[in-house]
Structure 1
Amino acid sequence: MTTHQTAQSMAQVPQAQQAPHTARAQTPETPAQPPLQPIPPGDPLPHRKILRGWLEPLVQRTTLYPLLLLVFDYAIFGGLQAGIVFAQSGIVKLVCALVAGFVIGRLFIIGHDACHQSLTPHRRLNKWLGRIAFLPSLTPYSLWEAGHNVVHHGYTNLKGFDFIWAPLSVEEYQALSRPRRVMERIYRSGWGPGLYYMLEIWWRRMMFPSRAAMPTRRPIFFKDCWLVSVFAAVWLAVLVWAALATAQSVTLVLVLGFVVPFLFWCAMIGFVVYVHHTHERVSWYDDRAEWARAQPFVTTTVHLTFRWRFGALLHHIMEHTAHHLDMSIPLYKLEEAQAQLEAMLPQRIVIQPFSWRWYFATAQHCKLYDFKARQWLKFDGRQSS
């Protein structure tokens, strides 16, 4: 399916189908109680409503804590920007720049939750907090909401709808032009997630997208694009002023204060999304009926685990299976929700301890996809395992 066809599919998602992908509406129904014993791996998977019912107590949201998180992360980001300007050591400046990129990722995760209406109980507040949190990553709120909430969460790993890291078949790859095949090889080399996100997602689908990329033309899309553009201009202007005021190289301050953090952020989000949905045990589908029968809300995402509670530094975005099952669970409840889900559904969820060896092995093996055999392939068409 072409980019235009994919964009049309996104634009044609009925409004009735969009509603479930925001925060859950409050109902008077009694939440379903988790079973006393885990469900054996061979038994049928319960309906999604039942699984969501198990996690109903964790959907409760608060206001003060996420506000403090947002203020805290912005304070760190501001401090790192000051470090880039005022530090004497070039190494210290570079470290501040890289950490600033990481903090942009933390702010984005807060905005991601707000965009799902899961950050606080207040819908209007979530929209504003989401826009504020998205500013350093230069992410237009409404366009992210359309592409992520509606399409990615509504049709996770369904080729032709979910366009995030959707693998090509052998036939699709061979039909590409030579330059496009080179780009595909770079993207899936293990070294290219940042380039993929920056070009294929942010530039083509987020920043003033063309009609081919986004056939639906809503005024709010362009307002949000202008909002992040103005923020970027102010950010750059402040850095230029700071460089001149401290008699430093304007180019150096701009590169370390803006370019390096943004590139680090692109690499970070590209990596995160890649490892969430690319794994030898994760299936992709090109038939909607087959996809629906597979109940993919549990089996198409990876729970990537880290040592030393590193996942907490990422606001628990790596507890991704629970997030895909129920997007209304706030980030500060995801760890508990993921643990409960894995206890109730043993051997159903892909749990992967992170290592660079695993990551590059996955990048080596998961290049193309055989949608009939549901098998990852290498670029030459051979089975990867």
Structure 2
Amino acid sequence: MTPTVAATPPLPTPITPRAFSCVCGRPVFFRNSRCLACQRPLGYDVARGALLALEQAPSRAGLPAWREAGVPVRRAARYARCANLDTAAACNWLLDANDVAAGLTLCRCCRLTRTAPDLSQPQADVWWSRIELAKRRLVSSLIRLGLPVDPKPAGGGPGLAFDLLMPPAEGPGVITGHADGVITLDASEADDARREARRHELGEPYRTLLGHLRHETGHHYWQVLVEPGPWLAPVRALFGDDREDYGAALQRHYAGGPPADWGQHFVSAYASAHPWEDWAETWAHYLHLVDTLDTARSFGLDGERVELSYERFSPDLLADTGDADAPAFLRLVDSWMELTGVLNELSRSMGVADFYPFVLSAPAVRKLHLVHRIIRAAAR
């Protein structure tokens, strides 16, 4: 009698898909603005989470000049390409007909950049290109997760803005940080050699442009999602009291370093500096794992399909949360640990640093779960 083989369960659907195909059948990727096989123009529609092949549309007053290729003309959505396509930012995002009717020329991601680097300075164009590419990946995830991503009005008010500043030749440098919805980034973080030097100097094993941006949006969403509502008390109970003197806490951290047992309580050493930094680092880690798993699943990979077994986190770890979605969250984290275990081994095979140089403790997982719940609640 032939033994019955259990069917492999389907992979969870990616929230932000990362694998795409041109109408010619060749694979194309999130950053592409043109298919390298057939030379057809491409554009990213963030609302659909799709990279689309484009073709010129017949000219009609008030309508964008491009339409989706490979679908019946009557059903083909019409688009405009972002005005930053032909700048150093090289943006491949699209604007829909409503955007065009409103007189907009920049996509949802580029509209968030309040200050671009001064392109008269050396390397500014290269650094801007790298920053905007990382920002597009970040913003696509935030939008697809259902989070509010609105540009800050010119006169001030709620919203998000990015100031990408070139470091001065003399005098004080640019301080990367967040204040009231404005994320300031030292554009020289896009210089690989400088960033690597800072990584060693500060003892940060994972320092990337995308990591910086994810971390700073954590501070923004603290103000948007946590501070004004019912999540503040549970966040303080788990992350600590954010009313602790922030400046003094950072001075203490940089003078004496993290506590010896930081790995038993936090996702990173820097997270131990202050509850705000713990939240921002945990937020960034949540975005890391969700987007990486989305990418893996987009290409048919998943931690549950690799030949590597880890001890799984128990539901008891998340007891008394009242969260009906807890099993799905635990599956997410378990898949992450299994996938990164294999990716670390692949990195070692190439003789480079581990892909994911962290170990998630039980307290860190509880904090990630709270971030997960807050994001899901905001999306609903």
Query: Which structure has the higher relative contact order (CA within 8 Å, separation 6+)?
Result: 1
**TM bucket by the smaller chain?**
under 0.3
Tell me the TM-score normalized by structure 1.
0.24
| Greater helix share, structure number | 1
Of structures 1 and 2, the larger Rg is shown by 2
| Greater strand share, structure number | 2
